[in-house]
Amino acid sequence: MVVGERKPFDEITRMLQGFKKVMVLGCGGCVTVCLTGGHDEVRVLSSQLRMSRDKDGTPLEIIEHTVERQCDPEYIEQVSELVPQVDAVLSMACGAGVQYMAERYQGTPVYPALNTTFVGGSTKEGYYVEKCQTCGECKLYYTGGICPIARCSKSLLNGPCGGSTKGKCEINKEVDCGWQLIIDRLTSLNQMDRYETIMESNDWRPSRDGGPRKMVREDFQR
Amino acid sequence: MSAECKTDSRLEKILRSGQFAVTGECGPPRGADAEAVRKKCRLLKGNADAFNITDNQTSVVRMSSIASAIVMMQEGMEPVMQMTCRDRNRIALQSDILGGAALGIKNMLCLSGDHQKFGDHPQAKNVFDLDSIQLIKIVRIMRDEGKFNGGDEIKGAPKLFIGAAENPFADPFVIRVPRLAKKATAGVEFIQTQCIFNMKKFAEWMKGVVDRGLHENVFILGGVTPFKSFGMARYMANNVPGMDVPEELLKRMKDTPKEQQADEGIKIAVETIQQLREIPGVAGVHIMAIEWEEKVGEIAQKAGLLPRPEV
């Protein structure tokens, strides 16, 4: 899933300065799962904003709403009657959702309440870790199901570097060395013969370096 | 090992003639003052066969390695231009390789590079378009096949003697010889190792290198760094990633009176070199006297490595 983190409250209040009525719009997708941008978080942020603005003597009227997913034209259409009633929309979706809203509602400012951080998952409740950097060409076959692009701090394809110490990365003793994990896993799978094959310089075109990416299911285009 | 030189590198000539090689290191200044490079060069001149010019080591901005290397050549010395993959993509790296070679640089060291987190610009975006092994392969193909990574023909191939680093003390130990084998397959010709303090572990790694015959394709230069003080030894043991300083060496420095610690550090370095010369497969030493360049001559002298041969 896409993991997001709420922006600092001060940054959010600065974005909403001068507005009298806004909509705080949650998303029922990934950010609900990672407890940062769903229905509950919309309620919490909205009441924080109201209290803060009341204290400043510039009350803020808020419409609280959450849609199934903000990265889908069908679902964001559902707020078409609410958007004209507000001065701005504060989206609690990931960066994709914010942009869907901004493109659909041209006349209304749409601002992000979250920092979209990474693609990953949870290891326990409220604890999320990065697993994928969406490079566009999956290498997990070669590396025992552990991604060197996302899990090595230098994204080395022929690691580990000389900074790997006792299974940890040189940047931080809390961070696992991705290549130590790969080697442990290849060893347990009896696939260490793969280690000595040089992984060639990566083709970054399927990654962000090819411009905004798209994926088209031709059978659905009619 | 083939005796035929592929470049005009003095370091290559010495290594291929079977003589025990010595390299040194010179960190460029944090400013545009060429005189600062010259000053360091004068301390180092004649004490080694070639001298690494570091490339923004520990991710701290310094004068570029190409520019510093040119200044060093003006002083009549042979530089080894270090190049990391941290700050440049394959376009910039290949361009700088051509530029460096055009200006007369004859040796290059291919490195992944320290993470920017350690430097003075931790907010920078790192590149790592390539890793060190891919860079080795690209330079080798540029030189020997006259082709860019993209496949186009190079008009005037860069004649560089190709080196890399390896850290026998990093984890996991089990892949440290295989990783050197990957560098050899990629086309590396000489290796400078991380600073050697744990001689037992180094010897174990070297045995693995020799058992696989890698020393017949790649010249191995053992890394030697003198401790200036017990404080430095402790810092290296605890704060430098991938550094292995055994307890007994720390104790030896600690038990030495403060005013004699620098001499003790030199003594340890000389002993290290003497031990390295006895290890089969070791083709030379790489003396890294960090901000202590004036001591390289003394160390080389005491280890019986001076004068350096004329080639």
User: Residue B237: closest CA among chain A residues belongs to which residue?
Assistant: A165
Residue A110 CB-half CA count within 13 A: 24
B4 falls within a domain: no
The answer as to whether B308 is a domain residue is no
A204 with B129: Cβ contact below 8 A: yes
Q: Which residues of B touch A146 (CB under 8 A)?
A: none
Each residue of A75-121: pLDDT tens digit?
999 999 999 999 999 999 999 999 999 999 999 999 999 999 999 99
State pLDDT tens for residues A18-70. 999 999 999 999 999 999 999 999 999 999 999 999 999 999 999 999 999 99
Each residue's pLDDT tens digit, B15-46: 999 999 999 999 999 999 999 999 999 999 99
Band (pLDDT 50/70/90 cuts) for residue A209 is: confident
Calculated CA dihedral for residues B86, B90, B93, B94, nearest 10 degrees: 170
The pLDDT score that the predictor gives to residue B291 is 87
A180 touches chain B (CB under 8 A): yes
- The pTM score is 0.95
The pLDDT mean for chain A works out to 96
pLDDT score of B105 more than 90? yes
Residue with tokens 């180092």: B44
Q: Mean of the pLDDT values across residues A172-197?
A: 96
Average pLDDT over residues B73-95: 98
Mean pLDDT of B256-281: 98
User: Cβ–Cβ of A160/B175 closer than 8 Å?
Assistant: yes
Test B131 with A157 for CB contact under 8 angstroms: yes
**What pLDDT does residue B177 have?**
98
Q: Is residue B231 part of a domain?
A: yes
A196 has a chain B CB within 8 A of its CB = yes
What is the mean pLDDT of the segment spanning A156-181?
Answer: 96
B310 occurs within a structural domain: no
CATH of the domain at B48: 3.20.20.220
CB distance from A193 to chain B under 8 Å? no
Distance separating alpha carbons of residues B128 and B84, to the nearest angstrom: 9
Q: Look up the domain containing B201 and give its range.
A: 10-302
Partners of residue A139 in chain B, C-beta under 8 Å:
none
Ranking A167-181, A201-215, B47-61, B212-226 by mean pLDDT, the lowest is: A201-215
As beta bridge partners, residue B282 has: B220
Instruction: Give the model's pLDDT for residue A208.
Output: 80
CA distance B262 to B235: 15
**pLDDT over 90 at B2, yes or no:** no
CB nearest A163 (choices: B128, B137, B242): B242
Q: Which residue of A has its CA nearest to B111?
A: A161
CB neighbour list of residue B147: distance below 8 Å, 6 or more residues apart = B141, B153, B154
Q: Is residue B311 part of a domain?
A: no
| Residues 147 through 166 of chain A touching chain B, CB cutoff 8 Å | 153-166
Size of interface A-B (CB pairs under 8 A): 94
Q: Which residues in chain A have Cβ-Cβ distances shorter than 8 Å to B90?
A: 201
Of B126, B174, B242, the CB nearest to A162: B242
Instruction: Look up the ipTM and state it.
Output: 0.94
> For a pLDDT cut of 90, what percent of chain B falls above it?
96
Using the Cβ of A170 and the Cβ atoms of chain B, whether some distance falls under 8 Å is answered with yes
Query: How many distinct structural domains can be found in chain B?
Result: 1
Identify all chain A residues contacting B132, using CB atoms and an 8 Å cutoff: 158, 161
pLDDT at B116 over 90: yes
Does the pLDDT at position A222 exceed 90?
A: no
For each of the domains in chain A, give its residue range(s) and CATH number, in order of start: 2-118 (3.40.50.2300), 137-209 (no CATH)
